[in-house]
Amino acid sequence: MACGSTKPEAPKPDGKPQPKTAEPIAVATAAGETTHLSEKNEKMWRITWKAAEVVATGAAKVGNMAGIKGETYEKENVSSQFEADFAEADNKVNRLILKGNVKITASNGTMFADQVEFDGKQSVYKAIGKVTFESESGIVGPIDSLYASSHTDKAGKAILDKVGTSETFFKK
């Protein structure tokens, strides 16, 4: 067998070769952008980057990006804007993790943190590490963690609502 060649396919019990499983493919890029869509084909987020690596295995795609900016959406309206040093996007589970100097902005305030995880299905941010939230009402923090949901109001303006700790955010 020559160097770099693939192994022969193992035959199935009926004597036919089995299909080869897809190997992950990693692609490095320079600056770029992408828009992630939900299963209903609605925008969840748009992100731009200065450099990235995307690893694809079949339909699943995970991207690691540097120098990022973007926005989240609700019903085609921007529900927040974000920027960070780095990001990891996992399209299969609709999750975006922002790392390093994270800034989330909306019309009613700005959240800063070391790391923020955005759950696209629920439009919820979980911020951890030196978290502060600044609004016209004042400044909260720094604290260890904070949650906020990302929505648009009736006028279509981006808002962060239900901002609070896990005890207050998930309280019914």
Closest CA to 52 of 41, 67, 40: 67
Predicted confidence (pLDDT) per residue in 74-112, tens digit: 888 999 999 999 999 887 888 999 999 999 999 999 999
**How many Å apart are CA 130 and CA 15, to the nearest integer?**
61
The answer to the question of residue 65 being in a domain is: yes
Please give the tally of structural domains in the chain. Answer: 1
Predicted confidence (pLDDT) per residue in 117-141, tens digit: 999 888 899 999 999 999 998 998 8
**How many Å apart are CA 59 and CA 92, to the nearest integer?**
8
- The first and second tokens of residue 139, run together, are 């400044």
The answer to the question of residue 16 being in a domain is: no
Closest CA to 160 of 77, 69, 96, 81: 81
Asked whether 44 and 37 are in contact (CB, 8 A), the reply is yes
The answer to the question of residue 111 being in a domain is: yes
Q: Which domain holds residue 158?
A: 25-169
In total, the chain counts a number of residues equal to 172
Residue 4 has pLDDT above 50, yes or no: no
Predicted confidence (pLDDT) per residue in 54-73, tens digit: 766 665 566 788 999 999 99
The answer to the question of residue 41 being in a domain is: yes
The answer to the question of residue 164 being in a domain is: yes
Question: What pLDDT was estimated at residue 3?
Answer: 47
- The first and second tokens of residue 61, run together, are 């795609």
Query: Which CATH number fits the domain that encloses residue 127?
Result: 2.60.450.10
